[in-house]
Structure 1
Amino acid sequence: MATAPLVLTSGEPAGVGPEITAKAWEALHEDPAACFVLLADADYWQARNPGLPVEKIGDPAQARGCFARALPVLHRPLAVHPAPGLIDAATAPHVISAIGEAVELAFAGTVSGIVTNPIQKDALYAAGFRHQGHTDYLAHLSALHGHPVQEVMMLVADDLRAIPVTVHIPLKDVPAALTGEAIMSQARVTARGLARYFGIPRPRLAFTGLNPHAGENGMMGREEIDVIIPALKQLQKEGLDVLGPLSADTAFHAEARAAYDAILCMYHDQALIPVKTLDFHGGINVSLGLPFIRTSPDHGTALGIAGRHVANPKSLIAALRLAARMAGAAA
């Protein structure tokens, strides 16, 4: 039996979302496994993509009946149709509402997973949005549904799965934020997610150090000795297969990657730089720990090129394909 379709949110309408959505449908419309429904303003998406076949539907279940011939859209009209590259605060409630409705559809079981187009956070902040981004907002919505979660951001590129333990904070704040509990809780969520969605029953988890050369036995910092190593020892007692702490400058070459299924990094750039170096256009953001599947392209709204139809859709296509595979594994 086929799984329910995925739902793709609108994201920032003035960005490249409409263009990469059209290209993703063109690439995937002959693949039933990758069927998705767009939650957006169908008229605006079609105006941004002349010639794109669009079909307005009333229920996600109708998506499979038209996906091969047209982009299925749950039509939600925008207050205004912004010019490409020019954000308009009037569209912010629409963007926020699409995320919330996608979560409702996921909890109802009418979609098998959520894929999110990029948002422009400063535009949303002006409308009262008070979250760092998609991931923590999805966790907030999950909690409102009675499912408090520990969300984990996993970046995927080629054979690399990388998790930043601390994320969008200044580098000077990382040592204080890096606790043993943060490392252990994210490792547990990662292990469960890899088992459920990626078919890895006992994943091998590697961990970087915080300091150069993983602290070099305390000569370059004590976070490895005082925080990271005790956390890894506890995870080993719990039965997890752990490796580290590794010196970050030697943890990401091909031979090193063969030794682990995912690597937990101590701060944002430790994880993001290797992912974007391996596959800048095809990297994917996967949210683990949520009570539903969520992936997204690992790039922003690209307002500077919006409307020119030159945006690379590879990351969105990869995010849709991965979400479909995860849904199949969890079915």
Structure 2
Amino acid sequence: MAMDNSNLKIWLEERYGFVGNISVELLRSYTNDVYLVKTSSDRFILKLYSPVWPSESEILWEIDLLNHLKRKGVRISAAINANDSKCVSTYFVNKENKFAVLFEYASGSKPKPPFDIALYYKFGQAAALLHEKSADFVSKYSRPTLDLNYLIDESTALVKDLISNDDFNFFKEFGSKLKVKINDYLKYGLDWGIVHGDLTLDNLHVGDDGSITFYDFDSSGQGWRGMELQGWAVLGEESRSKLEAFLKSYQEVRGVNKNDIDASPYLQAAQDMWLRRGMKALTDPKVLKAQIDQVKTWSQYFNDKL
């Protein structure tokens, strides 16, 4: 059911004290509903969360992380307090309450293809800074740990009744083999800490000066940093030079072990298996098929490596 934007505008006026003309545009309705809010003087991003995921505690954990990163000098899109000095609100729509958070509009704009080496060089530096500055982050709130159980085992259970037996058996077997491979890398140690959870060019803006601002930390949590070393790039020969630029600049900011780099494609594959309650893939067969197909692409690439 489409949202009545007039009611949403009134709600924004009441919650944030906006005055004058306000426009509200739906940008994306995927796991959550994301809106562009324009006032006479500024732009914001409003996110209405799925009633299934995340919980209020998980949202508050994310807000704590964003505030921590901002204090540390990492360019991010932070949450904005409402008139009651709280970042998390509720909005009643379609007969249900949804958690709502208003975010700053990330400075700059989304990069457009073709993506050049210089962009990946800046990306690597910014990613390393994010990892480095989050090392001492703590919060009284919690989020699920992005470990093998969460990424693979729970995803396998969720998908069981949504795909054919053949696809399920493939998904389950591939996940089991992938866990064995990642556990082999774990024997030699893998960098663990805060991860964005979806660190791609789709979740950043680039300023006129080349500065990078990250946003959309919905999937963030404690995980292996190797998940964010752009392991997907091994799937295409044309992406190798971009990967080299990313890793080179990343290592100029913080060190990274060869073991983490070598493990990154396998960690990326585990991340590509990831399903959680509230994700559109669990309700949209086309989205789920695309995800299963991506896992099959990884299976073909690894071939006898698992």
TM-score under structure 1 length normalisation = 0.24
TM-score under structure 2 length normalisation = 0.26
Q: Which has the higher contact order (CA 8 A, sep 6+)?
A: 1
